[in-house]
Amino acid sequence: MDEEAVIIGGGPAGSAVAIELSRHGIPARVLERKPGPHHKVCGEFISYEAAHYLEDLGIDLAALGAEPIRYARFYNGESELSFKLPFTGWSLSRYRLDNALLEQAKTAGAAVERGTTVRHLTRTDDEWRLLTRNRHSTRSAFSAKAVFLSTGKHELRDWKRRVRTPRHHDFIGFKMHFSLSSMQQNPWQETVEVHLFEGGYAGLEPIEKGGVNLSFLVRQDIYKACGSHWPGLLDWLSNTSSHMEQRLTNLTPCWREPLAVSGVPYGYLRSPGDSQPGLFPLGDQAAVIPSFAGDGIAIALHTASLAATIHASGGDSNMYQRLAYTDLTRPVRNAELLASLLSYRLGRKAAFLCAQLWPAMLRETILHTRVGLSLHSR
């Protein structure tokens, strides 16, 4: 059986490209390996450009319970920097967002298969060959003219990203949802916090139902020094500053263990020369922006829109790769440069001082790590 378009992965990029292809009248089939809605390691931040794409896709963030984000607080040890964001963002769990997008893809006419894993993906003369296994262990084989690779941070077997100089490969990302106790006032009203420390950084922001999301990146050697277990790591994190200690006091974890991910190639950009006929890498498979920039979801949606537009108009994957690289290079490189600066103690101090002396520079720095809406102006 030949398929017009197969999408591997049902995250924001996969669902978005399925919706847009369906709107163009192109049959789309989404293969999502998880059998149902699930959480993912993510800061849960939805930037203004991501919100714009989501609105176009028919997603009502406010109706889903998303929290508006208008302010930011940065901490470097005991130093604090507060400011109003140059845009309004949103915060919503990936559990709700991803499920809403997949349901919207079904409404648009796409075929969505949950609990289906792609075991092999190979290229023949003029098409792609896929071998899959579903939740009932039933195996299937079929062909597709175009494949949209949207597996997020995870690699598809035999299709690993070609990372020449891995950055932050020795870091582990963690995520935990918390609920506030009756004794805890909510300091995150319309606010996202970023806590910088030696060996990583952490983000805290409100989510739906009055919850709080903690996501952070930390070096593996620190995790090992904490006994390689969550309680020890959380104690270590609390001791990075009095601000963090105050934030984590009286918070109740929503899960027994955190979600974790490692080996993420932050700063990765897929080269225009690294292309295959009919293969469209989306989201983190196209570029991985440092997580503190908060633009990962926007990149997923931007690449999905770009790929669907090009494919529907008869363009090829080479054209897509060239344009995606052009769009993503500036924000990813700028965010990576900033992440490198903030990884040093003197760099963090210098960044805080400059932001205090020249607030306009802070605004411009934030805007230069956005993927933008260039697709709409083409």
Whether residue 203 is contained in a domain is answered as: no
Most confident segment among 1-10, 16-25, 136-145, 176-185: 16-25
Q: Quick: pLDDT tens for 39-86.
A: 999 999 999 999 999 999 999 999 999 999 999 999 999 999 999 999
pLDDT value, residue 375: 39
Whether residue 244 is contained in a domain is answered as: no
pTM (whole model) above 0.85: yes
Whether residue 215 is contained in a domain is answered as: no
pLDDT value, residue 376: 39
pLDDT value, residue 183: 67
Cα 334-299-150 angle, rounded to 5 deg: 130
Whether residue 104 is contained in a domain is answered as: yes
User: CB count, 10 Å around CB of 262?
Assistant: 16
pLDDT value, residue 168: 54
CA distance 346 to 335: 18
Least confident of 45-49, 169-173, 279-283: 169-173
3-state SS of the chain is CEEEEEEECCCHHHHHHHHHHHHCCCCEEEEECCCCCCCCCCCCEECHHHHHHHHHCCCCCCCCCCEEEEEEEEEECCEEEEEEEEEEEEECCHHHHHHHHHHHHHHHCCEEEECCEEEEEEECCCCEEEEEECCCCCEEEEEEEEEEECCCCCCECCECCCCCCCCCCCEEEEEEEEEECCCCCCCCCCEEEEEEECCEEEEEEECHHHEEEEEEEEEHHHHHHCCCCHHHHHHHHHCCCHHHHHHHCCEEECCCCCEEEECCCCCCECCCCCCCCCEEECHHHCECCCHHHCCHHHHHHHHHHHHHHHHHCCCCHHHHHHHHHHHHHHHHHHHHHHHHHHCCHHHHHHHHHHHHHCHHHHHHHHHCCCCCCHHHHC
Across residues 12-26, what is the average pLDDT?
97
Whether residue 338 is contained in a domain is answered as: yes
Least confident of 181-195, 248-262, 322-336: 181-195
Range of the domain at 148: 2-38+94-163+267-377
Whether residue 245 is contained in a domain is answered as: no
Whether residue 319 is contained in a domain is answered as: yes
How many structural domains compose the chain?
A: 1
**CATH of residue 291:** 3.50.50.60
pLDDT band at 250 (very low <50, low <70, confident <90, very high): confident
Residues paired with residue 211 on neighbouring β-strands, in sequence order:
179
Whether residue 288 is contained in a domain is answered as: yes
Across residues 328-351, what is the average pLDDT?
94
pLDDT band at 374 (very low <50, low <70, confident <90, very high): very low
Across residues 338-357, what is the average pLDDT?
93
pLDDT value, residue 363: 86
pLDDT value, residue 378: 37
Over pLDDT 70: what percentage of the chain? 95
pLDDT value, residue 158: 77
- Mean pLDDT rounded to a whole number for the chain: 92
